[in-house]
Amino acid sequence: TCMAMVGKRRLLSTGSQENQYNLIKDRYDGCQIIMGNLEITQIESNWDFSFLKTIREVTGYILIAMNHFEEIPLGQLRVIRGNSLYERRFALSVFFNYPKDGSSGLRQLGLANLTEILQGGVQIINNKYLNYGPWIFWQDIIRDSSAPIAIRLNGDKGQCWDLTKTVCAPQCSGRCFGTSPRDCCHTECAAGCKGPLDVDCFACRLFNDSGACVPHCPQNLIYNKQTFQMETNPNAKYQYGSICVSQCPTHFVVDGSSCVSVCPPGKMEVVREGHRQCELCSGLCPKVCEGTGAEHRQTVDSSNIDSFINCTKIQGSLHFLVTGILGDAFKKIPPLDAKKLEVFHTVREITDILNIQSWPKELNDLSVFSSLTTIQGRSLYKRFSLMVMHIPTLTSLGLRSLQEISDGSVYISQNVKLCYHHTVNWTQLFRGRSVRVNNLSNNKPRAECVAEGHVCDLLCSDSGCWGPGPDQCVSCRNYSRGGTCVSSCNFYAGSVFTSTFLMLRCVACHQECKPQHGKPSCTGPVSSYNYTRTFWPSDLISTLASIWLFSHP
Ligand SMILES: *[C@@H]1O[C@H](CO)[C@@H](O)[C@H](O)[C@H]1NC(C)=O
Ligand SMILES: *[C@@H]1O[C@H](CO)[C@@H](O)[C@H](O)[C@H]1NC(C)=O
Ligand SMILES: *[C@@H]1O[C@H](CO)[C@@H](O)[C@H](O)[C@H]1NC(C)=O
Ligand SMILES: *[C@@H]1O[C@H](CO)[C@@H](O)[C@H](O)[C@H]1NC(C)=O
Ligand SMILES: *[C@@H]1O[C@H](CO)[C@@H](O)[C@H](O)[C@H]1NC(C)=O
């Protein structure tokens, strides 16, 4: 069985007839089941569509519009599932199939084997020459009794469908292969059947498991009635469209018991033992986004700011130029709303450079980048990877999470109100890799900053700070709890939020620990804390790993 994965295509496509025809042929040639929609539009006569004759099932909708052929070549088609609908209503939509000038066009539908539309309705309108076909008893075919049926044209001929539903005995819940009460199809059948069994169906209502129609594919866990236990099913299968398969096809990912083309929101693709599968993200799912700097995307501006929503990594650079912040009358791009810059709160990594040459006047720091930990500097501007210049409103950088500038130097210059940047131990951020020469000229003089009290919080270490307060330290003098420096971990506070001491960080006791008064509530952050354990929870391992990295630059 061949499958064609088909996405949504726009009705008005451009390109020559030949391109259009080849596109359709490439997509559907040899297919029996179309996973997705079947769209045939704007095809003039004389093209050979016999390759569509193999199609038995379409999982989405069928759209036949603005073509000039005389018959829809879909004689084998039995089922339209309508998992997606055209204009949100129609599983089958046939309109305007005749040329503006000329005397031929679609004359008959030719869907003689179509007996089931599982969801959605039918629209057949404005087909000037259509005679045979539309006068089918559509109620017999359309399962959803509330689905719309829009049939409009002149003429009244033809009726050559086999009824499979309305003629059935009342005992049949669905379709039948004869009029007697013994002639009911199996309840899992769609489109009718040739006998009473689940292997006699013309098509399956839900899933096809090696020829038998079943309500769900063989599941991963099955109940053992003897042992009263759930057991792993060695014959479990995944659902792939309307078929049960023991392995997902290449390019598909396992999500639970299904094969999907992309993981759903909130999950990300991982490879486990050579198999691709979807797993829940802890927090925001990783999302890599294109940066700015290319000709069509020179600066962050109001026209592209939404492309940065939920990005965790910028592939490339971020440039903030005056044409982006204040707008570009020439290119008709309006000014950028300062609130919109909040989207950058999710960015943790930039692979190239961060270049800020213009900034909204409402903002006096760069704290929209408060999650940014790494600027890689893979390609540099001159020799710089962090540039902040001529921002008159800037009083502090506010890059509280920045821990590493992997390559390139820092250019922070001509920001007349800027303080705190003098305090930062940039060498530490460079991790000792290569010699770098910063240019930190013509900002507010250090002496003036100190005189005005713009100095680091006492809880910050000598590595400096990004701005005022204990949450802007590059590192802590004592301990850090949730990114803020504290003088001690309150072992003895006794509340559920009691913290404990793990190297330099305070980590809350596990929530199962009973708060103790006047003594520590726990000796570590997990409910059964034991240094000899071979299995450690992954969040603890990553905490330890990041502490280790931090103390071993
Ligand atoms: C309908 O399906 C049957 C069985 O597959 C086939 O023999 C017949 O040719 C089909 N009808 C048309 C018009 O293609
Ligand atoms: C189920 O799939 C098999 C191929 O695996 C196919 O031969 C059979 O016709 C299908 N049955 C139905 C009812 O779609
Ligand atoms: C961003 O992520 C949130 C939370 O995961 C989600 O609800 C939202 O739809 C996402 N927005 C976009 C544009 O991706
Ligand atoms: C900055 O950090 C480096 C590396 O950690 C260290 O060797 C150096 O002494 C620090 N400089 C200052 C002024 O603290
Ligand atoms: C820093 O940049 C300014 C402006 O481009 C320049 O005039 C100055 O010479 C530079 N200083 C150093 C030390 O490179």
Beta pairing partners, 94? 64, 124
112 in contact with ligand 1, CB cutoff 6 A: yes
d(CA 203, CA 430): 64
Which domain-ending residue is among 451, 480, 506? 451
Specify whether the CB–CB gap between 136 and 159 falls below 8 A.
yes
- Is residue 21 located within the same domain as residue 95? yes
Examine the domain organization and report whether 299 and 272 are in the same domain.
Answer: no
Among 133, 61, 72, 60, CA closest to 97 = 72
**The domain spanning residue 244 has which CATH number?**
2.10.220.10
Q: List, in order, residues 6 or more apart from 121 with CB less than 8 Å away.
A: 89, 90, 91, 142, 144, 147, 148, 149, 150
Number of domains within the chain: 4
pLDDT at 323: 94
Nearest protein CA to atom 3 of ligand 5, as residue: 441
Cα(402) to centroid(ligand 5), Å: 24
Q: How far apart are CA 390 and CA 416, in angstroms?
A: 8
- Specify the 3-state DSSP secondary structure of 298: coil
**SS3 assignment, position 134:** coil
Angle at CA of residue 360, ends 405 and 345, nearest 5°: 50
**Measured in angstroms, how far is the CA atom of residue 508 from the centroid of ligand 5?**
47
Q: Is there a contact between 204 and 242 (Cβ–Cβ < 8 Å)?
A: yes
Same domain, 399 and 357: yes
CA of 314 to the centre of ligand 3 (A): 17
Q: Which amino acid is at 428?
A: Q
51 in a structural domain: yes
Whether the CB-CB separation of 243 and 235 falls below 8 Å is answered with no
Which residue's CA lies nearest to atom 10 of ligand 4?
425
User: Within a domain: residue 461?
Assistant: no
Query: What is residue 158's predicted lDDT score, i.e. its pLDDT?
Result: 41
Does one domain contain both 235 and 107?
A: no
For 434, the token pair is: 């290569």
Closest atom, ligand 4, to C-alpha of 553? 5
Q: Give me ligand 4 centre to Cα 462, in Å.
A: 8
Where residue 325 sits, what CATH number does that domain have? 3.80.20.20
pTM of the model: 0.60
C-alpha radius of gyration, the chain, whole number? 33
Do 300 and 271 lie in one domain? The reply is no
Q: Quick check: is 503 in a domain? A: yes
Residue of the nearest CA to atom 6 in ligand 2? 211
Q: Which residue, 105, 139, 154, sits at the end of a domain?
A: 154
Pocket of ligand 3 (CB under 6 A): 309-310
Q: Which of 233, 251, 280 is the last residue of a domain?
A: 280
**Residue 24 and residue 145 in one domain:** yes
Helices H / strands E in the chain, number of each: 6, 35
Nearest alpha carbon to residue 208 among 241, 154, 244 = 244
Predicted pLDDT at 7: 44
Per-residue pLDDT of the chain (553 residues; tens, 9 = 90+): 455 544 444 444 556 778 878 888 888 888 888 888 898 888 877 788 888 889 999 999 999 998 888 888 898 999 999 999 999 999 999 998 888 887 788 888 888 889 899 999 999 888 888 875 555 678 788 888 888 888 775 544 443 445 566 678 888 877 888 888 888 999 999 888 889 999 999 889 899 999 999 999 999 888 888 888 889 898 999 999 889 999 988 888 999 999 988 898 889 999 888 888 999 988 888 899 999 998 889 999 999 999 999 999 999 999 999 999 999 999 899 999 999 999 999 999 999 999 999 999 999 999 999 999 999 999 999 999 999 999 999 999 999 999 999 999 999 999 999 999 999 999 999 987 777 889 999 999 999 999 999 999 999 999 999 999 999 999 998 888 878 888 877 665 555 455 555 546 777 777 677 766 666 667 666 665 433 333 344 444 444 444 444 433 3
Q: 429 with 303, same domain?
A: yes
User: Angle CA(398)–CA(401)–CA(405) in degrees, nearest 5?
Assistant: 100
- The answer to the question of residue 165 being in a domain is no
Number of the ligand 1 atom closest to the C-alpha atom of 75: 14
* Residues 135 and 220 occupy one common structural domain: no
500 CA to middle of ligand 4, Å?
29
Q: How many C-beta atoms lie closer than 10 Å to residue 381's C-beta?
A: 17
Question: Which DSSP helix (H) or strand (E) runs through 548?
Answer: helix 538-551
At 277, give phi and psi (nearest 5°): -145, 160
Query: Which residue CA neighbors atom 8 of ligand 3 most closely?
Result: 310
What's residue 546's pLDDT? 46
The C-alpha atoms of residue 19 and residue 36 are separated, in whole angstroms, by 21
Atom of ligand 1 nearest to the CA of 53: 14
The alpha carbon of 407 and the centre of ligand 5 are apart by a number of angstroms equal to 19
Q: For residue 404, how far is its CA from the centre of ligand 4 (angstroms)? A: 14
Atom number of ligand 3 nearest to Cα 310: 1
C-alpha–C-alpha distance, residues 95 and 127, integer Å: 6
Mark whether 276 and 299 lie in a shared domain: no
Nearest CA to ligand 1 atom 7: 76
414 lines ligand 5 (CB under 6 A): no
Same domain as 118, residue 209: no
**CA 441 to ligand 5: nearest atom:** 1
Whether 268 and 298 map to the same domain: the answer is: no
Q: Are residues 269 and 294 in the same domain?
A: no
Euclidean distance between CA atoms 481 and 362, whole angstroms: 30
Q: Quick check: is 96 in a domain?
A: yes
Question: What is the per-residue burial (b if ≥16 Cβ within 10 Å, else e) of 31-54?
Answer: bebbbbbbbbbbbeeebebeebeb
In a domain, 120, yes or no: yes
Q: What is the pLDDT of residue 460?
A: 93
DSSP string for residues in 227-293: TTEEEE-TT--EEETTEEESSPPTT-EEETTEEESSPPTTEEEEEETTEEEEEE-SSSPP-EEE-B-
Q: Which of ligand 2's atoms lies nearest the C-alpha of 213?
A: 13
Q: What is the pLDDT of residue 545?
A: 43
Asked if residue 360 is part of any domain, the answer here is yes
Span from the CA of 463 to the centroid of ligand 4 (angstroms): 7
Domain annotation covers residue 175: no
Domain that holds residue 188: 181-280
Residue pair 243/33 in contact (Cβ under 8 Å)? The answer is yes
Q: Which two tokens stand for residue 10?
A: 């726009």
